[in-house]
């Protein structure tokens, strides 16, 4: 009886660690690309003193890009880093 109780007390923390390890990472979305599709990652940093240069760039670059069939894609801001430490300031 004592050995069964001791074994149970020894195994229980290990089982709990396994359960918590499975729950450690939040849900991660995946993206599946078809042949010919492109995933474009832009690491942008917003600097307040470059607004004039940015507007000038957009006025010149976008008309040229549109002539070459550029299509804008929706974007989203990443606010929570779930893994690693790769951020635009590190690149």
pTM, rounded to two decimals: 0.38
Radius of gyration of the chain from its Cα atoms, rounded to whole angstroms: 25
Asked if residue 3 belongs to a domain, the reply is no
Q: What's the confidence (pLDDT) of residue 91? A: 47
Residue 22, domain member (yes or no): no
For residue 14, name the pLDDT band (cuts at 50, 70, 90). Answer: low
* Inside any domain, residue 15: no
Q: How far apart are CA 62 and CA 67, in angstroms?
A: 9
The predicted structure's pLDDT at residue 64: 92
Residue 67 has a pLDDT of 92
- Locate all alpha helices (DSSP H) within the chain, ordered by sequence: 2-22, 51-67
Q: Is residue 11 one of the residues assigned to a domain?
A: no
The answer to whether residue 17 is domain-embedded is no
Number of domains in the chain: 1
pLDDT at residue 60 is higher than 90: yes
Q: Residue 40, by phi and psi: left (phi above 0), alpha (psi -120 to 50) or beta?
A: beta
Q: Which domain holds residue 32?
A: 27-90
Mean model confidence pLDDT for the chain: 74
């Amino acid at each position: 009886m004592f050995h069964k109780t001791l074994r149970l007390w020894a195994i229980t923390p290990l089982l709990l660690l396994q359960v918590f390890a499975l729950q450690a990472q939040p849900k991660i979305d995946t993206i599946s690309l078809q042949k010919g599709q492109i995933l474009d990652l832009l690491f942008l940093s917003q600097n307040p003193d470059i607004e004039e240069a940015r507007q000038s760039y957009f006025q010149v670059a976008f008309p040229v890009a549109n002539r070459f069939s550029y299509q804008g894609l929706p974007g989203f801001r990443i606010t929570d880093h779930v893994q690693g430490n790769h951020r635009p300031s590190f690149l």
